[in-house]
Chain A
Amino acid sequence: MSSKESIIRQPLVTGENITYAKVTDDILLPVENKPNKAWWIGFTIAGLGALLWVVSVGYTFWEGIGVWGLNKTVGWAWDITDFVWWVGIGHAGTLISAVLLIFKQNWRNSINRSAEAMTIFAVICAATYVVAHMGRPWLAYWIFPIPNQFGSLWVNFNSPLVWDAFAISTYFTVSLVFWFCGLLPDIATVRDRATGLKRKIYSILSLGWNGSVKTWQRFEIVALILAGISTPLVLSVHTIVSMDFATSIVPGWHTTIFPPYFVAGAIFSGFAMVQTLLLVLRKVMNFEDYITMFHIEAMNIIILVTGSIVGIAYLTELFIAWYSGSEYELYAFQNRIGGPYAWAYWSMMTCNVISPQLFWFKKIRTSIPISWVLSIVVNIGMWFERFVIIVTSLHRDYLPSSWAMFYPTWVDVGIFVGSVGLFFTLFLLFLRFLPGIAVAEVKMLLKSSSLQHKKKQIEEGLFPADQVEFFKERLDMYDSVTEEEISEIQN
């Protein structure tokens, strides 16, 4: 329990007089009370967005995909761009909940819940494009191996598009199960503090959780194994998404670098989205003591690392386009750099390669407004990455007589903007009805990684003076710890 953690490690939970009861009270505040104005404003805007999504998708289903800006040459554009964008965003949630659990990174404990929720909602948004782009969405079940009315003709299991159907549906199911299992103890907490109908509903959702020794033991094993299998799963999902392109022979798509490059890009954009959401969430919901500057900085470092991997991948692509000696491949890239879509290419380069490099500076890494703006810039850049890959490769391929441009219609834009609205609607509903931070997991940190506990240990004289000094220096960046509190720490 009160494990002796090195003082060199920064605290993961700050705040005075933090007790188990206070953790519960703080985190359940938005769930147990009527939502505030900020929530209603956000929900109204997001709801209007979701409405736009319903209208645009409904219109697409009614009229057919001819209402999109697609043409004979560019048969895939905004739909698949948005699909890959959303799936990519989803990946950070699994990364935080699974990979960081395997590596015992305790800072995941206060951000995993909302990141997993983000994963689920992002995958829902992505899945809607898969269905919407089919043209005849009522036949969507044809992608699954069901013996159909044409006899025993099966789906083509050699096609990455079929792999994708399996990968995305497995990913969604496993993420949902992982999220729900993690929620059980917290739903039980809400249940035991509620009354009346609310208690009944949460009682059903909690599946009768009671927190006995055996339950917790199995819970932890389940979490660990789900993390272990989710890690290769998440890598496989974006690998397979990239194979939708890489196994074709379109110049600019037919490259072996795609799987790792797509996975890095997915983590990059996903962490940016987590950052966008959490920076607002911690302020509006008063979670500053749980989602600290340490979390923000750590996520910015991941954005920096994955952003650099993505940058190297872009440069490698360019180099290979020239070095391979394939004139079509070379032209595809010349066209990206200087063709009619050059503005998209250079937007992508600026947003994804240059902007994350700013995170080398500690001042920028620990500045909330700059981090927030950069996280949005990264997401814009990652949208352009998919647009560049998909549209610039398709609009000019082997046959110059078929070259064409792609222009989106209001339906394309409506579905995209609408899906963002849908995402935020679901996310805000989640924050209203379920604990936005894993209550039980944060409680585990109180007697090891909280500032209060570390202060107590310092007072007991457990650590050498120079280490305490180092600890105090690093507390400077925390916006939830005042100068006075830092100066109070005496060895």
Chain B
Amino acid sequence: MSNIKYILGSFADPDQMMDGIDKLQKNNIEIYDCFTPMPIHGIEAKLGVKPSRLPIVAFCFAVLGAILGFSLLYYTMVHDWPMNIGGKPAFAAPAFVPVTFEVTILLCALGMVATFFFRNHLFPGRAPRVMDIRATDDRFILAVDAKTNTDHELIDSLLKEAGAVEVKHNERKYISYE
């Protein structure tokens, strides 16, 4: 048994990579992941990646922000220390709109981005899980798990056929940043 962990098809063109995905999938070869220097539209559908639920998260945080913002105003202006400002009612709802709105937006943005970072394990000091150093530059990397897909020669030839510039057999999963 070889020590090869991952087979990487390195493409110079995103369309060829998409073609490679089709070819592998036709042969029932499961694709581990793709690493690209830019977003590729339509790739999620091909790889069966579920739609992101971040919009729901954003909505929940926005609702939370609206509740917190309004509660702050209601507590300070109406409940805790109502002030007589020109004889106007303490509960001056229209004047509460701007601050409630700003807090809503703030919580929505921060909450959503924090969730995005959390779910993708993005944080300062995180060792980059990069399989090919050129995946952030000019190469579109298609990774196949070599342990579960054993016919390496078939994978090689399919990737080459699709137009891969280079096919790598990696014994390490990620490249070292040391």
* Interface set of A (CB-CB < 8 Å, partner B): 1-2, 19-21, 24, 145, 152-158, 160, 162-163, 166-167, 170, 173-174, 177-178, 181, 184-185, 188-189, 191-193, 199, 203-222, 225-226, 229, 232-233, 236, 240, 439-441, 443-444, 447
* Contacts known (A19-B138, A173-B106); A1 close to B40, Cβ less than 8 A: yes
* Interface set of B (CB-CB < 8 Å, partner A): 12, 14-15, 18, 33-44, 47, 49, 52, 54-55, 58, 62, 72-73, 76-77, 80-81, 83, 85, 88, 92, 95-96, 98-99, 101-103, 105-106, 108-110, 112-113, 116-117, 119-131, 133-138, 177
CA gap between A175 and B99 in the complex, in Å: 18
Asked if A208 and B126 make an inter-chain contact with CB atoms under 8 angstroms apart, the answer reads yes
* Contacts known (A1-B18, A152-B80, A166-B98); A208 close to B33, Cβ less than 8 A: no
Asked if B137 and A217 make an inter-chain contact with CB atoms under 8 angstroms apart, the answer reads no
- Chain A binding surface, main DSSP class: helix
Question: Closest A-chain residue to B75, C-beta based?
Answer: A154
* Contacts known (A167-B102, A216-B40); A210 close to B130, Cβ less than 8 A: yes
Contacts of B133 in A (CB 8 A): 192
* Contacts known (A163-B102, A166-B98, A166-B99); A229 close to B108, Cβ less than 8 A: yes
Question: Closest B-chain residue to A438, C-beta based?
Answer: B38
* Contacts known (A208-B126, A213-B34, A213-B44); A218 close to B98, Cβ less than 8 A: no
Asked if B120 and A193 make an inter-chain contact with CB atoms under 8 angstroms apart, the answer reads no
Asked if B103 and A166 make an inter-chain contact with CB atoms under 8 angstroms apart, the answer reads yes
Asked if B98 and A214 make an inter-chain contact with CB atoms under 8 angstroms apart, the answer reads no
Asked if A440 and B130 make an inter-chain contact with CB atoms under 8 angstroms apart, the answer reads no
* Contacts known (A166-B98, A203-B128, A207-B126); A177 close to B18, Cβ less than 8 A: no
Contacts of B52 in A (CB 8 A): 217-218, 221
27 CB-based A-B contacts, threshold 8 Å: A1-B40, A1-B41, A20-B37, A20-B138, A21-B137, A21-B138, A24-B37, A155-B76, A158-B88, A163-B102, A170-B102, A177-B109, A185-B38, A189-B37, A206-B128, A207-B124, A208-B128, A209-B122, A211-B37, A211-B130, A211-B135, A218-B119, A219-B116, A225-B54, A229-B109, A232-B101, A447-B14
